[in-house]
Structure 1
Amino acid sequence: MPLYTTANPTAWLQPAAVDGARNQATFWIPPSGTTDANTGLPPFWKNENEFWTSNDAHHTDVFGYAYPGTQYWNFTSDEEWRNSVRGIIQSLYPNSARSTLTNAVANGDTLTHIMDEGNMFMDWVIQVKASAREMPPIFRAMFSLVGDFSSDASTEVGMWMRMIVDGPETSAWKAREAEQNAKRFSTIDQGLTNTIGLTSSLLDQIKAGKLESLDPEAVVPYLNTHLTWVVYAVR
């Protein structure tokens, strides 16, 4: 939601009548009224007299934290910030490769040769595995395709995030558990795994003339040269 509202600043909560099919009355909100972005959000108290509202919580930094990508103070303008967020959204939720290719066939564009006679194509994914013992509880791994030269801009193709925050009441217990399981984990590592779709990004490279096809003979050497990743961790 923070990413969506950042990329779409004019799309916000509109007034809605209570008692409607999609906006029923509740214990806190009586019937025959109207809810909007200034309506209180019980049971989340802002102070002893009022609740937080959607407008109050439009940016999460009022609570003392911000998600990666929504830290607007790192950008020189709102437009630069929103363009960055749109790039993150595209890497997290890229267009379907099949819909892209189906449209290509219908329009006769440069991707027509990718689909075979049975409307099949090679689908590429990144299968990632990391050590649960060695990775911190909070990390962000960014996967990108870099250019041929250091001055070329890189293209983000996917992101893997993991956020597990331990409360102070559980830290001592976890320390004891880790000590007890040290020997077992030394031989059996509880690995972390994730899968990131790559085909849509490869299609963009084909359209840009940087890759010939989705065939392994073309893709594997290309990935060996251009696929890179970096892990941002909080310990």
Structure 2
Amino acid sequence: MSHFIITGPVGSQTEGAPAPNRLEINDFVKEEEMFSLYIQALEIMYGSKQEDLISFFQIGGIHGLPYIAWSGAGAEDSAEPAGYCTHGSVLFPTWHRPYVALFEQVLQKHAAEIAEKYTVDRPRWQKAAAELRQPFWDWARETVPPPEVISLDKVTITASDGQKKEVDNPLRRYRFHPIDPSFPEPYSNWSATLRHPTSEGSDAEDNVQDLTKTLKADQPDITSKTYNLLTRVHTWPAFSNHTAGDGGSSSNSLEAIHDHIHDSVGGGGQMGDPTVAGFDPIFFLHHCQVDRLLALWSALNPSVWVNSSSSEDGTYTIPPDTTIDQTTPLTPFWNTQSTFWNSFQSAGVSPSQFGYSYPDFNGLNLQDKNAIRERIAQVVNELYGHRLRKTFPFPSSLVAAGAPQATTKDLSPITTATTLATIPHALTTEQGLSEKNADGTPKVESVAPVSKPISTEYWEWTARIHVKKYAVGGSFSVLLFLGAVPENAADWRTSPNYVGGHHAFVNSMPQRCANCIGQGDLVIEGFVHLNEAIAEHAHFESFDPAVVSPYLARELHWGVMKVGVIASGMCHM
């Protein structure tokens, strides 16, 4: 059979860049031509028959259900249904790169066809179509997307006759036609994608207010995690995936932060479950940002790329117990009629091989790694470092520009403080944390991992969280608090004492995914950086252990909540 070749979008050029830019969504919605074409192109993808290879449904389904071969990749190689899933793998960042490029390629193809139909100033629309790229949502800078993404049912575009026109907003939701029989409940009850659904029944609606409150509450945690990822993590295993054992960076992986966004946006809806997340239109905005962070991190760590690792039980197309590395085929993404893209071919801080770039790299000589690193360090500090600088003095050698000198091998571990807590009974059985205290309660460690005199001594406090990924039976969050915890768990995420959490993005049907079955006892790792919250709540003059250790032992509380579950519970020491 003939296979669909992934090239990414083609055509046009951005001045000073190797390829047209993907734009941040808040900027993108202001671009009349691109936004109008984008909305219409999405509608064409939505309207295609769900069995069509390049329909929105089929492309979204590559990520999970209905667990069928796409474009013949693995159709004859697998004895039983399984997914292409590479979550929890060193291939996580690179697998999603050609995936988003495929979506972007189809999107731009439709935009170019639409532009040809404009009867007013057609060359302007043709140019916009050639430059059109999938936008990204920089949630590290602004966790709440614009109304065009989360709240407007209608948007205004310029139609082919040059007139303004109000149309249904395809960024708001995708409507299934029909609901696929592979979907389990509650997804089998919902005719369209939902975010923070009001119920599990067919009458469910989005709870935009709850979604917005959740995302706003998460802003400090997400920004801090992103900044620490880009400035403190320097090995591929620690950067690429959420499996425990980060090499001592005491910072979250790209996948762990990615999981946080999925759970916070989904709130019990499709985005919170890998089996159906790809059907929510916000998925591709999110994953463009994930890919952008891969580009930024690569610019700061130019000599680091995919390492060798075990495939464990494998996937639909990756055999079990084999070595995976940067040459492993990233199925189902064909680059010729007989071969697939791999991580080595997908490398690049500005991956023009897929026809796109990011504004952060405009005007740079991509062969000058030092210049790129210096510029991106400045970008990272300006975009994401401001919260740290405002809250407490941050040593200059630990910011992005000096990240290579701030590796954990240069720093000495100092102390560990352990606090005891119980998970609310309504939300747990033997689930949750892999380590327990003597009384049987799960354990959380608050760690002050590093101290190195620079101009003055500096202590950083971080909570390290280990959990069994599949213990709860779905996506869940470990939430941390400094001070009193609301009795009603529905108020946890918006409590002023909520300081952050670790979020597990979990397949609700792991028995249908070979990779997930093999990871049944997988322990994943996450971190919550506590200094900003300690400064806000305790108003200490320093972070010295003599002051902070007893404070955390007294005030640090936590609990576990399954995503989408509203239950009452109390989190105790």
TM-score (norm 2): 0.25
1:191 is aligned, of 517, 523, 545, to 523
| Contact 1:127/1:196 (8 A) holds in 2 | yes
How many angstroms does 1:92 deviate by? Answer: 2.4
The one-letter code of the counterpart of 1:159 is G
Q: Which runs of 5+ in 1 are unaligned?
A: 19-24, 41-52, 75-80, 104-115
Residue 161 to residue 101, structure 1, CA distance change in 2 (3 Å): same
2:222 is aligned, of 92, 97, 103, to 92
Secondary structure of 2:522 counterpart: coil
Question: Hey, what's the Cα distance between the residues in 1 that align with 2:512 and 2:507?
Answer: 14
2:392 is aligned, of 101, 118, 126, to 101
Secondary structure of 1:214 counterpart: coil
1:55 is aligned, of 147, 169, 188, to 169
How many angstroms does 1:143 deviate by? Answer: 1.0
How many angstroms does 1:160 deviate by? Answer: 1.6
Residue 173 to residue 58, structure 1, CA distance change in 2 (3 Å): closer
1:226 is aligned, of 548, 552, 555, to 555
Is 1:26–2:317 an aligned residue pair?
no
| Contact 2:476/2:503 (8 A) holds in 1 | yes
Residue 63 to residue 120, structure 1, CA distance change in 2 (3 Å): farther
| Contact 1:212/1:218 (8 A) holds in 2 | no
| Contact 1:144/1:228 (8 A) holds in 2 | yes
Question: Hey, what's the Cα distance between the residues in 2 that align with 1:201 and 1:232?
Answer: 21
**Which residue number in structure 2 is paired with residue 164 of structure 1?**
506
The one-letter code of the counterpart of 2:511 is S
Question: Hey, what's the Cα distance between the residues in 1 that align with 2:209 and 2:387?
Answer: 33
1:42-191 alignment runs, 5 A limit: 55-58=169-172, 63-67=192-196, 71-72=207-208, 82=212, 85-94=215-224, 96-102=387-393, 118-132=455-469, 134-147=471-484, 154-166=496-508, 171=511, 177=517, 189-191=521-523
| Contact 1:131/1:190 (8 A) holds in 2 | yes
Secondary structure of 2:532 counterpart: helix
| Contact 2:469/2:506 (8 A) holds in 1 | no
Question: Hey, what's the Cα distance between the residues in 2 that align with 1:62 and 1:121?
Answer: 53
Residue 201 to residue 62, structure 1, CA distance change in 2 (3 Å): farther
What do you get for the CA RMSD once the two structures are aligned?
4.6
| Contact 1:145/1:154 (8 A) holds in 2 | no
Secondary structure of 2:549 counterpart: helix
Residue 157 to residue 173, structure 1, CA distance change in 2 (3 Å): closer
How many angstroms does 1:198 deviate by? Answer: 0.8
Secondary structure of 1:124 counterpart: strand
How many angstroms does 1:220 deviate by? Answer: 1.0
How many angstroms does 1:177 deviate by? Answer: 5.0
How many angstroms does 1:82 deviate by? Answer: 4.8
Question: Hey, what's the Cα distance between the residues in 2 that align with 1:55 and 1:149?
Answer: 37
| Contact 1:145/1:226 (8 A) holds in 2 | yes
| Contact 1:127/1:193 (8 A) holds in 2 | yes
How many angstroms does 1:201 deviate by? Answer: 0.8
Question: Hey, what's the Cα distance between the residues in 1 that align with 2:503 and 2:473?
Answer: 11
How many angstroms does 1:88 deviate by? Answer: 2.2
Q: Kindly tell me the number of residue pairs found equivalent between the two proteins.
A: 176
| Contact 1:206/1:213 (8 A) holds in 2 | no
TM-score (norm 1): 0.55
Question: Hey, what's the Cα distance between the residues in 2 that align with 1:83 and 1:148?
Answer: 17
Secondary structure of 1:65 counterpart: coil
| Contact 1:143/1:156 (8 A) holds in 2 | yes
The one-letter code of the counterpart of 1:146 is G
Question: Hey, what's the Cα distance between the residues in 1 that align with 2:550 and 2:124?
Answer: 64
Secondary structure of 1:64 counterpart: coil
The one-letter code of the counterpart of 1:217 is A
**Which residue number in structure 1 is paired with residue 546 of structure 2?**
217
Structure with the largest fraction of strand = 1
